Chain A
Amino acid sequence: MKKNKLLCTILAVVITTATLAGCSKTTKVTDSSGKTKLAEVPITIYVAGDKPKLQDQVNQYISEQTKSELNIKLTTNYIPWADYSTQIKLKAAAGENYDIFLSFFGDLPGQISRKSALDITSLIAKDGADLKRVIPADLWKSVTSTDGKIYGIPSVYPMTGMGRGFLVRKDLRVKYNLPEITDIASMENYFAAVKKNDPSLIPMLAPNLGMIAGDKTLIDHYTYHFGAGNADAAGALAIDVTQTPYKVVSSATAPVDLAIRAEDVKAMANGWLEKDILTDTDRDGKFIQGKAAAMGGDLFNITDRQNSLTKNVPGAELELAIINKDGKWYGTDPCNNFGVISSTSKNPERAVMFMNWMRKSKDNWNMFMLGKPGLTYTVAGDKVQVPAGTAPADKYNPCPWFAQQTDFITFFDTDPKSYIDALTSWNKLKIEPSSLATFVYSNKNVLAEDAAVMKVITEEGKPITAGLITKDSDIKKYYDDLDKAGLQKLITDAQTQLDAYLKTQK
């Protein structure tokens, strides 16, 4: 083992000296004909999920196909979802040399301040022409810091109002002779029908009925919540998007939240929600076993749940119910997935070139996302198929989120119609832009108060919102406890940050 190490070091030194001697800083070599040639470099990507069985072969295929254009040796490594965020931070801290990694809206500010995300402004300007072309301008805002530096490459996928939809058992709805669910009334009718006709089922598996926020009775006070990607994970703070100038208020007393709470109380009283709703360890499991009639989820959940459901409950069909589809859609949700270049990367320019190459055309993109024709997929008309004889568990299923581009997506012939329809309709939405989509709140100045507020919300707020606690005295105590925990300080701090941010957006 020691000998190997020594050999490797010697080789490394020789190669480095050779390359340095022969190349310019950007590892490009001018060969005899005067054309610039690239030296081969390894490019390592870290994403979340489980490594598909054929990932290595696909990587090799890509490396071969792009030899003249990129000349890279591609490696894709996977980290389980649950461990991803911590692990990727650790790897950066340990100085591991990887190039591209999947990042999320909530993690990016931390990565910028910890300097693990590389500033790629100049690299994008030089090698990112196709990226600029296919990624809409407003998405770039979510990866650009206030001083104009770009720190990541946004993914393109529907992200607006994903919480406005939820998964419904279409077969049951049809059985009860009910029309499609489009508003609160039809939703309630469905739940009531489930309770009456199939009392052994759970009508709705969700922590609360937040989807009603899109209903036309509430849409005029559409509320943006801090959290889920923002520092205040408990969502203590809210802003009514329809009122300008934006004012930060406590979500506990915001009109939309109060309406959701009232609806939950009603649902809990009618038995539409589980009584021990707060401890739900396996909603997916229950749903795909056919124990529930509806569940929270968005269009990206459809395919997997449908496939699992069909195995357990023959004849079960899923649809995505959307509340107030034709109403206004406020673009307050951030772009949540990016491909980020690591500051520990040895070849950032080549990494950007790779990302750019992927977005250059659908065919390029498919080389990663679909894999190698014949090996991981076969063409079937305008759709694709898993090659015959492949076990379902071996389907080539890469993590697309670091470079997602939904207009490039090719559907599998096994994809449920509901998914295809949902994706198509989401791509066509008319969205009201809002600068809140790229606002990041940092709780650094108020850590103690935020910790206390989060506890109050988790301990008292969530049970109240879920409809488990309804006594007025308890609700008053909740408001008092929020004040005592320091909510006002949080609000003032957030308002200050928001105002400063909005100024830069003008």
Chain B
Amino acid sequence: MKKHFDLFNSLNVIFLSIVSMITLLPFLLVLGSSFSDENTIAKYGFSIIPRKFSLAAYKSIFSNVSTVINAYKVTLTVTIVGTVLAIAITSMVAYALSRKQLRYRNVLNLFIYIPMVFSGGIVPFYIVIHKLGFVDNIWGLIIPMVFNPFNFFLLLNFFRGLPDEIVESAKIDGAGEFRILLSIVMKIALPGIATISLFYSLAFWNEWTLALYLINKTELYPLQFLLRAIMQRATIIAGSNAHFTGVIPAESVKMATVIVTIGPILLVYPFIQRYFIKGLTIGSVKG
């Protein structure tokens, strides 16, 4: 029996290692190329280990250090505030609609689902965010994203799977719904909460279209928007009769923009990971 298990385990590790390589290799390619001298990329293409090391790409992005640092500040603020708000709103409604005693829960589920399929398009959305006064306003980068039906359904599914005994016993003890949510449910549903926290923060971190619609002041440019502008300078619109003028950045710069975006996430991610380890929730359920 044990032998069988060990074989399985080893095969598993090998298989997952291969899978990880498939996902890591392109990233390493990007990383390596971002530190490559541009001429060697031109001659030899992308490489994992730079043939000729160079920080030129990063220098080019950070040439305007204050703008980049500012963009980091903006994005960080938006992400943290936004994620906290989003978790609050989403967990409340997901918890409520996971309770079978709620008669109208299916109506509300449908109500939340419909916007996932139907949309009036960018024009009305654009008009709404403008009329709400979000132009050149940091809240404009936060509020339109504090609720996402997809994340709601994920959390709903999670909350539905929670054992009813816990909630029942808390009710018998006289706890109100809000109290149950905060002190009990959030704790035992940590993997779910952690999951959608991750998703929401990634969404905030990567968002650039809101900035495109709303922000004219350079001080309020979020990170992704700035980086996208840098990347785009290299993409000449084919067939356009409008002539492009400006500096065409190198391939290495395009690669460096990815690293600049992902860098902070990589630092934070290990801390979030512990919520995905088995065992954390077992104690609370048993107790």
Contact = CB atoms under 8 A, between A and B. Distances in A.
Q: Is any CB of A less than 8 Å from a CB of B in the complex?
A: yes
Interface of A: 5, 48-51, 53, 77, 79-84, 86-87, 90, 93-96, 102, 104-106, 228-229, 233, 282-285, 288-291, 298, 300-301, 303-305, 307-308, 312, 336-337, 391-393, 397, 399-401
A301 B42 CA distance: 20
A355 B57 CA distance: 39
Contact of A392 (B39, B236, B247): B247
B245 A303 contact: yes
Contact of B212 (A83, A228, A290, A392): A83
B127 interface: yes
A307 B245 CA distance: 11
22 contacts: A77-B216, A90-B126, A94-B123, A95-B127, A95-B130, A102-B242, A104-B241, A104-B242, A228-B239, A282-B235, A284-B234, A300-B245, A304-B246, A312-B38, A312-B39, A312-B42, A336-B241, A337-B242, A392-B247, A393-B60, A393-B64, A397-B245
Interface string B236-275: 1101111111111001000000000000000000000000
Contacts of B232: 80-82
A50 B246 contact: yes
A238 B232 CA distance: 33
A255 B233 CA distance: 38
Question: Main secondary structure on chain A at its contact with chain B?
Answer: mixed
A311 to B, nearest CB: 8
A341 to B, nearest CB: 19
A96 B39 contact: no
Contacts of A288: 248
Nearest to A200: B43
Contacts of B60: 393
B245 A49 contact: yes
B80 to A, nearest CB: 20
B123 A93 contact: yes
Given A290-B42, A291-B42, A94 B126 contact: yes
Contacts of A308: 247-248
Nearest to A86: B122
Interface of B: 38-39, 41-42, 60, 63-64, 122-123, 126-127, 130-131, 133, 212-213, 216, 218, 228-229, 232-237, 239-248, 251
Nearest to B133: A5
Given A308-B247, A392-B247, A284 B236 contact: yes
A50 B228 CA distance: 11
Contacts of B228: 80
B241 A229 contact: yes
A243 to B, nearest CB: 26
B243 A50 contact: no
Question: Main secondary structure on chain B at its contact with chain A?
Answer: helix
A161 to B, nearest CB: 13
B241 A285 contact: no
Most A C-beta atoms less than 10 A away, residue of B64, B232, B236: B236
A304 B244 contact: yes
B41 to A, nearest CB: 8
A399 B243 CA distance: 10
A5 B240 CA distance: 41
A25 to B, nearest CB: 27
B52 to A, nearest CB: 13
A291 B45 CA distance: 11
Given A82-B235, A93-B126, A307-B247, 19 more contacts: A49-B245, A50-B229, A50-B233, A50-B246, A81-B237, A83-B212, A87-B213, A93-B123, A94-B123, A94-B130, A102-B242, A282-B235, A284-B236, A301-B243, A303-B245, A304-B245, A304-B246, A308-B248, A393-B63
B219 to A, nearest CB: 11
A95 B127 CA distance: 8
Nearest to A106: B241
Contacts of B247: 304, 307-308, 392-393
Contacts of B248: 284-285, 288, 304-305, 308
Most B C-beta atoms less than 10 A away, residue of A96, A106, A304, A308: A304
B212 A336 contact: no
Contacts of A104: 241-242
A397 B243 CA distance: 13
Contacts of A80: 212, 228-229, 232
B181 to A, nearest CB: 30
Contacts of A233: 239
A238 to B, nearest CB: 17
B140 to A, nearest CB: 12
A81 B126 CA distance: 19
A93 B127 contact: yes
B244 A81 contact: yes
B284 to A, nearest CB: 41
B236 A336 contact: no
A284 B236 CA distance: 8
Nearest to B60: A393
Nearest to A83: B212
Contacts of A79: 212
B37 to A, nearest CB: 11
Contacts of B38: 312
A47 B133 CA distance: 23
Contact of B64 (A53, A90, A307): A53
A86 B213 CA distance: 10
Given A80-B229, A87-B212, A285 B234 contact: yes
A289 B40 CA distance: 10
Nearest to A392: B247
The 9 A-B pairs of least Cβ separation, nearest first, read: A289-B42, A300-B243, A336-B241, A94-B130, A94-B127, A90-B126, A93-B123, A308-B248, A94-B126
Contacts of A289: 39, 41-42
Given A51-B218, A90-B213, A391 B63 contact: yes
Contacts of B126: 90, 93-94
